[in-house]
Structure 1
Amino acid sequence: MIRRAIAAGLALALGACATTPDVAAPARPDAKSYAVTQDAMGHVDAALARAAAGGKRVLVVFGANWCHDSTALVGWLATPRFAALVAERYELVFVNVGLPQTGDGHNLAVAGRFGLEEMKGTPALLVLTPEGEPVNLDTAASWRNAASRSEDAIFAELSALADQPAP
């Protein structure tokens, strides 16, 4: 009986030693905010109204919760550093677009309304004036590598877009 108890204890101890350590967390935060909604256009319109009243820009992030670049961008936006910038300069709206690159997209009319006619991947990030004029139409679709961008690079670009004049 004692031998069995010792053997069981030894097996547990060896088993604990054989477990692999936890993998380090990614260098970027991840979060999910791309809710499927019936009225994405209404959410953007409400953000435009708030932006006009508050003298801000609208930050529309088109993405999906399945996409690691989309969730990485949401994760950065949720950190205190980015949250302060967004609160001061933007009205933020997340628009779930599904899988536009495979033909299974939705809410693409929101992107099209502001001149973003083609979405080959996610996320896309569009900055609008309170009047609904796109500020960064030429770079809106370039955010598909958001998970690879550094925190400082993302912050610098969002800071610059907050002040960039509309074309």
Structure 2
Amino acid sequence: MIRPVHTIGAVTALCAAILSANWYFSDHDYPEARSYIVSEDPEGDVDAALARAAENDKRVLLVMGANWCHDSRALAGWLGTQRFSELIEDRYELVYVNVGKPQEGDGHNIDIARRFGVADLPGTPNVLVLTHKGELVNADTVTTWRNAASRSENEIFDELAKLAG
């Protein structure tokens, strides 16, 4: 007869081995944010970021994505690293906005994208770089970030550095 205490111990040891090996959670080479940071008042946060950008001579980095999306979590993970944090602190005001699943007709906060001239969000994430006056800098690349998880760290960094002006 297998004793319950031994079974629990064996299961616990197996789970610990899996977690320490980290193979289950990281089958990729990007730092994935565990929770995509979203705002409860996205319109207000965008306005506040624009005001701070005007005060500090920065641009706004408006990331429109979702927790369900691995590309959104990958981008948020990169943006949370020290290398990207330094760029963002020096050149941007960062705002995350939850857009749900716009490609399935369940989009949220799409009016924010439209406010800056982006009519449609075909997927996630979307990256809008704005001047402090609310002018869209990267109209040609807003919706091209849907492959953020497969982009290299340098590719993402270089593009954001270029867009920082």
Short-chain TM bin: 0.7 to 0.9
- CA RMSD in angstroms comes to 2.0
The list of structure 1 runs, each at least 4 consecutive aligned residues, that deviate by more than 2 angstroms after superposition, is: 19-22, 32-36
Match of residue 138 from structure 1: 140
Match of residue 101 from structure 1: 103
Match of residue 83 from structure 1: 85
| Alpha-carbon shift at residue 36 of structure 1 (Å) | 5.0
| Alpha-carbon shift at residue 34 of structure 1 (Å) | 3.4
Larger Rg over CA atoms: 1
1:35 aligns with 2:76: no
Aligned residues: 149
State TM-score, norm by structure 2.
Answer: 0.84
For structure 1, list consecutive stretches of 5 or more residues without a partner in the other structure.
none
Deviations 1:59-97 (A, max 9, x none): 000000000000000000000000000000000000000
For structure 2, list consecutive stretches of 5 or more residues without a partner in the other structure.
none
Alignment of 1:88-167 (within 5 A): 88-163=90-165
| Alpha-carbon shift at residue 143 of structure 1 (Å) | 0.2
State TM-score, norm by structure 1.
Answer: 0.83
Query: Identity of counterpart residues, as a percentage?
Result: 56
On the 8 A contact 1:63/1:122 being kept in 2, the answer is yes
Match of residue 58 from structure 1: 60
